[in-house]
């Protein structure tokens, strides 16, 4: 059975898409149109009752439905690619960056920017909520910044934490949130990787790459 990857172009699933391409895995890609409500339809809820993306259906038919879970599974399942460090300090750094990217920058910051109505029904409050979201995003990147000092990648070599960090850096770039120096260098470095460029082209960002 082939891996089945449920994704939305330009979303957090882009980070997992990059990992799948870096590993050169064979998988079926299924687009989940969030705007059309595909994530709330019975067929998708049968795979992921949480109605979130990404989801990865494994060879045995079971599904992983969380970015961190999928990333860790890929890193542990293909150890020869060394997407996870072997030492405890390196693993701790990976978890720290996964939490900063996923729980803080994405979960607290970008959700206020992209899904403002979750926080207030009154449109008059939306500008303030989005401004707060930008502040939280900036604070998150400020926390990541010293972790990248003197390093090309989060743990010194490309791994799962870099893909988590990349998708929030990509969002920041798209909406004009300034990245601190080391985060900006990390983002530009990943944009040069063939798998990253392939994924962005496949997800509809080919024109952006041509302009860089």
What is the arrangement of strands in the sheet containing 55-57, beginning at the earlier edge strand? 27-31, 3-7, 55-57, 63-64
Tell me what pLDDT residue 60 has: 93
pLDDT band (50, 70, 90) for residue 10: very high
Tell me what pLDDT residue 1 has: 63
What are the domain boundaries of the chain? 3-81, 88-193
pLDDT band (50, 70, 90) for residue 207: confident
pLDDT band (50, 70, 90) for residue 212: low
Q: What is the CATH number of domain 3-81?
A: 3.40.30.10
With b for 16 or more beta-carbon neighbours within 10 A and e for fewer, the 77-115 pattern comes to ebeeeebbbeeeebbebbeebbbbbbebbbeebbbbbee
Tell me what pLDDT residue 208 has: 77
Strand, coil or helix: what is 73? helix
Looking at 3.40.50.12780, 1.20.1050.10, 3.30.70.890, 3.50.50.60, the CATH number of the domain 88-193 comes to: 1.20.1050.10
Strand, coil or helix: what is 55? strand
pLDDT at 116 over 70: yes
pLDDT in tens, 43-95: 999 999 999 999 999 999 999 999 999 999 999 999 999 999 999 999 999 99
């Amino acid at each position: 059975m082939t891996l089945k990857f449920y994704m939305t172009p330009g979303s957090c699933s882009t980070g997992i898409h990059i990992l799948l391409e870096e590993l050169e895995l064979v998988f079926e890609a299924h687009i989940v149109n969030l705007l059309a409500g595909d994530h709330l339809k019975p067929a998708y809820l049968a795979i992921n009752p949480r109605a979130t993306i990404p989801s990865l259906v494994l060879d045995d038919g079971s599904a992983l439905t969380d970015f961190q879970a999928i990333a860790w599974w890929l890193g542990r399942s293909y150890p020869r690619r060394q997407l996870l460090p072997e030492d405890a300090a390196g693993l701790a750094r990976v978890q720290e960056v996964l939490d900063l990217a996923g729980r803080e920058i994405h979960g607290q910051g970008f959700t206020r920017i992209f899904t403002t109505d979750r926080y207030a029904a009154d449109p008059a409050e939306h500008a303030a909520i989005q401004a707060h979201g930008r502040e939280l995003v900036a604070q998150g990147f400020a926390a990541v910044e010293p972790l990248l000092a003197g390093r090309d990648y989060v743990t010194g070599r490309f791994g799962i934490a870099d893909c988590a960090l990349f998708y929030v850096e990509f969002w920041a770039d798209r909406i004009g949130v300034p990245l601190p120096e080391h985060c900006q260098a990390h983002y530009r470095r990943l944009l040069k990787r063939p798998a990253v460029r392939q994924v962005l082209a496949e997800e509809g960002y080919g024109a952006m790459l041509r302009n860089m």
